[in-house]
A and B are shown apart, each in its own frame.
Chain A
Amino acid sequence: MTGTQPTTRSQPMGRTCPFSPPEGYRTLREEAPIAPVTFPDGAKGWVVSRYADVRAVLADPRFGANRRRVRPGDPTPADAPLPPPPPGMFIMMDGPEHTRFRRLLTGQFTVRRMQKLAPAVEKIVAEQLDAMAAAQGPVDLLQAFALPIPSLVICELLGVPYADREEFQENSSMQLRLDASHEQVQQAHMAMNQYIHQLAVAKRAHPTDDILSGLVQSERLTDEELAGVGSLLLLAGHETTANMIALGTMCLLGNPEQLAALRADPALMDSAVEELLRYLTIIQYGLRRVALEDVEMDGHRIEAGSTVLASLASGNRDATQFSGDPDVLDVRRPSSPHLAFGHGVHQCIGQQLARVEMKAALSALLDRFPSLRLAVPADQVPMRDDMLIYGVHELPVTW
C-alpha cells in the first residue's frame, strides 16, 4: 500500500502559555506520538511525545547519549559520525564509560547526604531573604534569590569560590544559549574547563573537604576529565535549580488558588515541588538520543544513526499518565513519577539536591513575604525561550 509513510513535521516550537510546552505537542501526542520531524536547523530525526515512549527511549541502551548539538551555526552535518565525548562530559557517554564517571559521584548525592544538607541550605536561604528584605522592593527575584541559592550551595559542595560566580555564570549561560554560534559555545566550554582545571591544581597542593578535592585525591581521573566533570556539575548545579525557583515562584503567583492552598497547608510543599517540576519541565526541548542500531518502535523503523528527541515536557503533560487535567497546576496531585529529571541511567544525579533547595527556598520565601507579587504585568516578564534551560531572564517582584 502506498501513502502509509508518515508525513515529516516540524519540531513544535513557540509557546502560547509561558508555563506550558508548545501547543504542537498536544497534536503530536494524539496523532503521531513517534513522529519523523525536521529540527529547526533543518536536520531530520524523530520526536517522541508520549510519557511511555519518552521513558522507553531513555531507558533503552539501543539509544545512545547524543553528542551532536543540533542548533543553528553548528557546522557538523547531521549524518556525520558521532564525535567522541569531551573528556569528563559523562552526560554524553554510554555504557561502561558513563558508569565509571557516574559511580565516582553518586555517593556524593545520596538521599541521606542531601537531606543532611538541608539545615545548611535553609541558612543560606534565610540570609538571602534578609538581604532581600533590607533592599526593599521591587527586586529581581532571580538575581536576589533564585540564582544565589543554588550557586552558593554547589560552590560549597564542589569547593568553588563563590566570589568567582560572575565568570562561571557567564560561561554557563553562553553554553545554554540557542542562538550562540558553535565557536562561542566551544569557547565558553573551554573557559569553564580551564577555570576548574586551575582550581583542581590548587586543590592537589592544598586539598579541602569538598567534591573536587575528593576527586583530585582519588587519582582516578586525568586532569582533563576532572575539569570536564567539575564544569558539568557546576553548570548543571546552578542554572537548572535557579530557573525552577524563579519560574516556580512566578507560576505560583499566577495560580493564586494553588498558592493559597500551599500557604494554608505547608505540608503540601513536597507534592508542590514535584508538581512544579512536572508542570514546568525546564529542559524545554527535551533530551536527544541517537539510535545505535535500527530500532522498531510501534511500527516505525528508526534507522541507526537517527537522532531521537524525547520530549520530557510533552511526556509530563500526557493525560494517560497523570490523573485529572495534566495541563492544570495542582499542588495536591497524587504522586506519579514525572520526567523532569529525565529517565534512564542519565537521570539527574543532583535531583535530591534540587528537591532540598526548591523546598527550602519556596517555603521560606512564601513564609517571609506573605504579600509577594509581580512588580510588572506577567506578560512583561522576559522568558527564556532562547535558552536550553527554560525560565525567566529576570523576575521583578515586590511585597
Chain B
Amino acid sequence: MKIVIDEDKCCGAGQCVLSAAEVFDQRDEDGIVVLLDAVPPEEQRAPVEEAAARCPALAIEVLP
C-alpha cells in the first residue's frame, strides 16, 4: 500500500487525522495534510482507506 496526497486539493478539514492519526497529521501553520508514513504497514489499511473516503476534498489516493 502506498499513499499519495495532493496538497493543492487539501482543505484542512482534518478528517484524515481523525481516521488514521499514525499516518496523517496537519501542518501547524496552515492545517494542510502531512503524510507521516507514505508506505504504512498493512494493518493500517482500514483506517487509511477510511481517511481517503472521508476526505472532503478527495486529496488522498491509496495505491495497492
Q: Do B14 and A342 touch (CB < 8 A)? A: no
Q: Do B54 and A337 touch (CB < 8 A)? A: yes
Chain A positions within 8 Å of B15 at CB level: 337, 347
For residue A141, give the distance in angstroms from its CB to the closest CB of chain B: 28
Q: Do A103 and B12 touch (CB < 8 A)? A: yes
Instruction: Mark each residue of chain B from 47 to 64: 1 if its CB lies under 8 Å from any CB of chain A, else 0.
Output: 000100110111000000
Instruction: Give which listed residue, B17, B29, B57, contacts A344 with CB less than 8 A.
Output: B57
Asked whether A106 and B30 contact (CB < 8 A) given A337-B15, A337-B53, the answer is yes
Asked whether A347 and B31 contact (CB < 8 A) given A111-B26, A337-B54, the answer is no
Chain B positions within 8 Å of A345 at CB level: 9, 11, 56-57
CA distance A343 to B13 in the complex (A): 10
A109, CB-defined interface residue at 8 Å:
yes
CA distance A106 to B29 in the complex (A): 8
Asked whether A106 and B56 contact (CB < 8 A) given A111-B17, A112-B26, the answer is no
Asked whether A103 and B30 contact (CB < 8 A) given A111-B14, A347-B13, the answer is yes
CA distance A349 to B26 in the complex (A): 13
CA distance A66 to B29 in the complex (A): 29
Asked whether A109 and B58 contact (CB < 8 A) given A103-B30, A337-B53, the answer is no
Q: Do B53 and A110 touch (CB < 8 A)? A: no
Chain A positions within 8 Å of B26 at CB level: 106-107, 110-112
CA distance A54 to B64 in the complex (A): 28
Chain B residues touching A, majority SS? loop
Q: Which residues of chain B from 25 to 55 have any CB-CB distance to chain A below 8 Å in the complex?
A: 25-32, 50, 53-54
Q: Do B53 and A348 touch (CB < 8 A)? A: no
CA distance A58 to B50 in the complex (A): 19
Q: Which residues of chain A from 147 to 171 have any CB-CB distance to chain B below 8 Å in the complex?
A: none
CA distance A99 to B15 in the complex (A): 18
A221, CB-defined interface residue at 8 Å:
no
Asked whether A107 and B29 contact (CB < 8 A) given A337-B15, A349-B12, A349-B13, the answer is yes
For residue A183, give the distance in angstroms from its CB to the closest CB of chain B: 34
Instruction: Mark each residue of chain A from 80 to 122: 1 if its CB lies under 8 Å from any CB of chain B, else 0.
Output: 0000000000000000000100111111111111000000000
Q: Nearest chain-B residue to A337 (Cβ)?
A: B54
B1, CB-defined interface residue at 8 Å:
no
For residue B63, give the distance in angstroms from its CB to the closest CB of chain A: 20
Instruction: Give which listed residue, B9, B12, B21, contacts A106 with CB less than 8 A.
Output: B12
Closest 6 CB pairs of A and B: A106-B31, A106-B12, A347-B56, A110-B26, A111-B17, A111-B14
Binding site for B on A (CB under 8 A): 58-59, 99, 102-113, 335, 337, 341-349, 351-352
**A–B Cβ pairs within 8 angstroms, 23 of them:** A58-B56, A99-B11, A102-B12, A106-B11, A106-B26, A106-B32, A107-B12, A107-B26, A107-B30, A109-B12, A110-B14, A110-B17, A110-B28, A111-B14, A111-B17, A112-B25, A113-B28, A337-B15, A342-B56, A344-B56, A344-B57, A347-B13, A347-B15
